[in-house]
């Protein structure tokens, strides 16, 4: 009798293991856990329009100066903001020379050159801002004496870059944007 019971239990155990083993494989493709899905879920796309009305607003003014390629510069090389805030960024183009249009483009760290190069291709109609995931947000292109204001939620904590994508400007007109 003991032997029969053991055999019986053994059979149940084997059946259970077998059915567990086949269940996962029988699941439709989309119900299975997929590492790529998890990666997407952990990294939602940044939405510059998703402003939290309760967030503190941080006003930042950045000035673009100079009337020649040798003189042109942003007056700041580094901007720091706290995560969870709303950033209201004002770009003031203080130049007086028609050859000095500037914009302010927030990009993922290490992509300033790539974005600016793609910006040339994007052309004047797109303010020299390419449509790529490298770009988080951007102002319009300002002419001499003009000002542009953009409001956007601080992206997730980390290091970013800002850059002017007017052709020929990126290597001088860039800086670091840190979200703490
Ligand atoms: Cu510029």
Count Cβ atoms below 10 Å from residue 68 Cβ, excluding itself: 10
Q: How far is CA 56 from the centre of its chain?
A: 20
Distance from the Cα of residue 59 to its chain's centroid: 20
Same domain, yes or no, for 61 and 21? no
- Collapsing DSSP to helix, strand or coil, 10 comes out as helix
* pLDDT confidence of residue 72: 97
What is the reported pLDDT for 115?
98
Is the Cα torsion angle 64, 103, 50, 159 positive or negative in sign?
negative
For residue 48, being part of any structural domain is answered with no
Kindly state whether residues 95 and 152 are assigned to the same domain.
yes
Is 51 a member of any domain?
no
Banded model confidence at residue 19, pLDDT cuts 50, 70, 90: very low
What does residue 38 show for φ and ψ, rounded to 5 degrees? -60, -40
Give me ligand 1 centre to Cα 105, in Å: 10
* C-alpha radius of gyration, the chain, whole number: 27
Distance from Cα 156 to the centre of ligand 1, integer Å: 26
Per-residue confidence band for 45, with pLDDT thresholds at 50, 70 and 90 = confident
Query: How far apart are the CA of 166 and the centre of ligand 1, in A?
Result: 5
> For residue 178, how far is its CA from the centre of ligand 1 (angstroms)?
21
% of the chain at pLDDT higher than 70? 76
Q: What is the pLDDT of residue 150?
A: 98
> What contacts 33, CB < 8 A, 6 or more positions away?
none
User: 130 CA to middle of ligand 1, Å?
Assistant: 15
Helix/strand number for the chain, H first, E second: 3, 9
The two tokens of residue 77 are 């090389």
Q: Is residue 128 part of a domain?
A: yes
Residue with tokens 């100066």: 65
Answer whether residue 108 is part of any domain.
yes
Residue 70 has pLDDT above 70, yes or no: yes
What is the sign of the dihedral through the CA atoms of 169, 154, 54 and 60?
negative
The arithmetic mean of pLDDT across residues 163-172, rounded, is 97
Identify which has the larger pLDDT, 31 or 179: 179
50 inside domain: no
Q: What are phi and psi of 7, to 5 degrees?
A: -65, -40
Residues 17 and 71 in one domain: no
Mean pLDDT, residues 19-37 taken together: 50
- Are 90 and 125 contained in the same domain? yes
Whether residue 121 sits in one domain with residue 77? yes
For residue 120, the domain's CATH number is 2.60.40.420
Provide the percentage of residues in the chain whose pLDDT is more than 90.
74
Confidence of residue 1 (pLDDT cuts 50, 70, 90): very low
Question: Tokens standing for 115?
Answer: 């974005």
CA of 66 to the centre of ligand 1 (A): 10
Domain span at residue 19?
2-42
pLDDT of 21 > 90? The answer is no
Assigned domain for 52 exists: no
The pair of structure tokens assigned to 100 is 């000095």
- Split into its structural domains, the chain has a count of 2
Residue 159 lies in a domain: yes
- Read off φ and ψ for residue 57, nearest 5 degrees: -100, 125
Structure tokens at 53: 């009305």
């Amino acid at each position: 009798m003991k032997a029969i019971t053991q055999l019986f239990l053994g059979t149940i155990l084997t059946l259970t293991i077998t059915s567990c083993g086949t269940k996962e494989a029988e699941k439709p493709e989309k119900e299975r856990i997929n590492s790529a899905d998890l990666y997407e879920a952990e990294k939602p796309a940044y939405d510059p329009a998703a402003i939290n009305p309760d967030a503190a607003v941080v006003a930042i003014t950045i000035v673009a100066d100079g009337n020649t390629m040798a003189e042109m510069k942003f007056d700041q090389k580094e901007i720091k903001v706290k995560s969870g805030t709303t950033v209201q960024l004002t770009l003031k183009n203080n130049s007086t020379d028609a050859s000095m249009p500037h914009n302010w483009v927030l990009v993922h760290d290490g992509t300033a050159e790539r974005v600016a190069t793609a910006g040339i291709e994007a052309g004047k109609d797109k303010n020299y801002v390419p449509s790529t995931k490298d770009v988080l947000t951007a102002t319009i292109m300002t002419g001499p004496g003009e000002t542009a204001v953009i409001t956007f939620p601080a992206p997730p904590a980390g290091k970013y870059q800002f850059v002017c994508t007017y052709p020929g400007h990126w290597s001088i007109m860039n800086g670091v944007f840190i979200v703490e």
